[in-house]
Amino acid sequence: MEIFNPVVITIYGAEQICASCVNLPSSKDTYEWLQAAISRKYPNQPFVIDYVDIMNPPDDEEKRQFAEKVIEEDLFYPVVVIGNQIVAEGNPNLKVIYAEMEKYGYK
């Protein structure tokens, strides 16, 4: 399966670590770690990774609404979203993220 459009991975998080996520890396650290890990796993296969601060969401309506959902539903952040699918909350598992990316044709 060929990849025609790069997968968009969105990390929703905040500077403050969520109360249930004590001793885990910050959302920003998780974003940087995922970016590096995915780049190593899928070299020369483009993807887009965005970070959204749930306390300061962008003007993009969809991202703003999802940021509100993270807060309202007390999701453990960072929340990792691929397409419209939540693939991780709190401490992301690379195998789960890779499996989701492979559904889009990544090898």
Q: Tally the domains of the chain.
A: 1
Enclosing domain of residue 44: 8-50
Assigned domain for 25 exists:
yes
Assigned domain for 61 exists:
no
What's the pLDDT tens digit per position in 48-88? 999 999 999 999 999 999 999 999 999 989 999 998 899 99
- Contact of 97 with 82, CB cutoff 8 Å: yes
Assigned domain for 33 exists:
yes
What's the pLDDT tens digit per position in 6-33? 999 999 999 877 666 677 788 999 999 9
pTM: 0.90
Assigned domain for 67 exists:
no
Neighbours of 72 (CB within 10 A): 8
Q: CATH number, domain at 22?
A: 3.40.30.30
